[in-house]
Amino acid sequence: MNKEQKLKLIVKEDSFHKTKYGSVTGVIYFDVDGFLFPEQDWDDFVVSLLVCFSRILVMLKFDKNKNIDVLFQEGPFKVSIELDKENQCTISFIEGEKLAGDKEIIYKTITIPFESLKKEIVKSCSKALQIKDPKKMSFNEDYRDLEKAYSLLLKVS
């Protein structure tokens, strides 16, 4: 029997900063048993990505056997997630986008329970929402979207 691989979504709250346009960027990446994607200390639109991941999990839960991609904003990287009828998520970590004419390179594919992936997304959303404290970072549209998506995700079982 195969051992379940450990997936972690790393979000470094101390790296968050707001762009002049009001978007929140910071360090966000996946760690699967030491495999880091896109790479360690990857800087991206962290709150927007968390909103996407939260919404995707909600959508997958209501439309089994659908494959949905989440594109990182800064670079040709994406995570493809598929949920099967047994509540197992197959997650592929990919560089390149066929629709843009790129060759896609699948660096790693894992299968984990939906609840394991949800737990990581929930934990990262919770960390990010703590940053919305006006003393740390002013409240903006990104955080309102994250609160809504996080709230919906918490209701999914």
Give the pLDDT confidence of 104-151 residue by residue, as tens digits: 999 999 999 999 999 999 999 999 988 765 555 555 677 889 999 999
The pLDDT of residue 123 is 96
Q: Whose structure tokens read 């495999």?
A: 35
Instruction: Note whether 83 and 64 are within 8 A (CB).
Output: yes
What H or E segment, with its residue span, contains residue 48?
helix 46-62
Phi first, then psi: what are they for 150, rounded to 5°? -65, -45
Mean pLDDT rounded to a whole number for the chain: 88
The pLDDT of residue 1 is 43
- Where along the chain do its domains lie? 7-155
Encoding tokens for residue 78?
């994406």
Number of other residues whose CB lies within 10 A of the CB of residue 96: 14
Q: Which residues contact 90 (CB under 8 A, 6 or more apart)?
A: 81, 82, 84, 109, 110, 111
Instruction: Note whether 29 and 41 are within 8 A (CB).
Output: yes
Summarize pLDDT for 3-25 with one digit per residue, the tens.
Answer: 678 999 999 989 988 888 878 89
